[in-house]
Chains A and B, each alone.
Chain A
Amino acid sequence: QTVVTQEPSLSVSPGGTVTLTCALSSGSLSTSYYIGWYQQTPGQAPRALIYRTNSRSSGVPNRFSGSILGSKAALTITGAQADDEADYYCVVYVNNGRVFGGGTKLTVL
């Protein structure tokens, strides 16, 4: 069974930079896994941030960027703002299915 692992929690200071990662249990992630990143605030449906590893969805601020770092996928927030405090999920496409990571709770303080 494919497992996707994210940091359970991270914190960042306002204006700071933070990198969230996404790892695949069965090996290295690459662009062929069509990696996406989503932001979810309490009581709301997720919102698409990044698709296909490094493309920003419509309306997403350019402080959000996606990449591959080593064997993992990464979401970097540069110049964090208070309203970036949320849960973040990566999702990968593998074997004709999709697997969400466990999510990272980001605190801005």
Chain B
Amino acid sequence: QVQLQESGPGLVEPSGTLSLTCAVSGGSISSSNWWAWVRQPPGRGLEWIGEIYHSGRTNYNPSLKSRVTISVAKSKNQFSLRLNSVTAADTAVYYCARVVAATDTFDMWGHGTMVTVSS
């Protein structure tokens, strides 16, 4: 059973960089899936941030594209998110998820990690 676990700082200063890692266990990150980041501000809906294939190909949300980098570390079986120039509007629960390429399904999710942007 594939499991995903997010990790990273829970507090980031305004104008700083948010960095999170998602560790994948029980399966290979080099399988035929996309690996995605989704966030949810408190009391609000889901927002797709972007995703990466093990080849390194990425797709990003156009509204965040200028500030986002998603990368993959195959040797560590993990992928990462970097979001630059953060503001309070970036405060959210951040989820990592597996997207099965054959069905476009977000079928496995991490538990989510709360990141607060504040000084």
Taking Cβ atoms with an 8 Å cutoff, the residues of A that contact B are 1, 34, 36, 38, 40, 45-46, 48, 51-52, 55, 57, 87, 89, 91, 93, 96-103
Are B103 and A45 neighbours in the complex by a CB distance under 8 Å? no
Looking across the interface, which residue of chain B has its beta carbon closest to that of A100? B46
Contact of B48 among A45, A57, A98 (CB under 8 A): A98
Contacts of A101 in B (CB 8 A): 45
Q: What is the predominant secondary structure among interface residues of chain A facing chain B? A: strand
Are B48 and A100 neighbours in the complex by a CB distance under 8 Å? yes
B9-17, B22-30, B74-82, B106-114: which lies at the interface: B106-114
Taking Cβ atoms with an 8 Å cutoff, the residues of B that contact A are 36, 38, 45-48, 51, 59-63, 95, 97, 103-107, 109-112
Are B104 and A36 neighbours in the complex by a CB distance under 8 Å? yes
8 A-B contacts, Cβ less than 8 Å apart? A40-B46, A45-B111, A46-B106, A46-B109, A52-B103, A55-B103, A91-B106, A103-B45
Given contacts A1-B63, A87-B45, A93-B104, list 19 more A-B pairs with CB under 8 A: A36-B104, A36-B105, A45-B95, A45-B97, A48-B106, A48-B107, A52-B104, A57-B105, A91-B46, A91-B48, A91-B106, A97-B59, A97-B60, A97-B61, A98-B51, A99-B48, A100-B46, A102-B45, A103-B45
Are A89 and B46 neighbours in the complex by a CB distance under 8 Å? yes
Contacts of A34 in B (CB 8 A): 104
Contacts of A103 in B (CB 8 A): 45-46
B21 to chain A, nearest CB (A): 17
Please judge, given known A-B contacts A45-B95, A52-B104, A93-B104, whether A100 and B111 are in contact too, CB under 8 Å: no
Contact of A96 among B59, B109, B112 (CB under 8 A): B59
Are B59 and A51 neighbours in the complex by a CB distance under 8 Å? no
How far is B36's CA from A15's CA once the two chains are assembled, in angstroms? 36
Please judge, given known A-B contacts A45-B95, A45-B112, A97-B60, whether A89 and B45 are in contact too, CB under 8 Å: yes
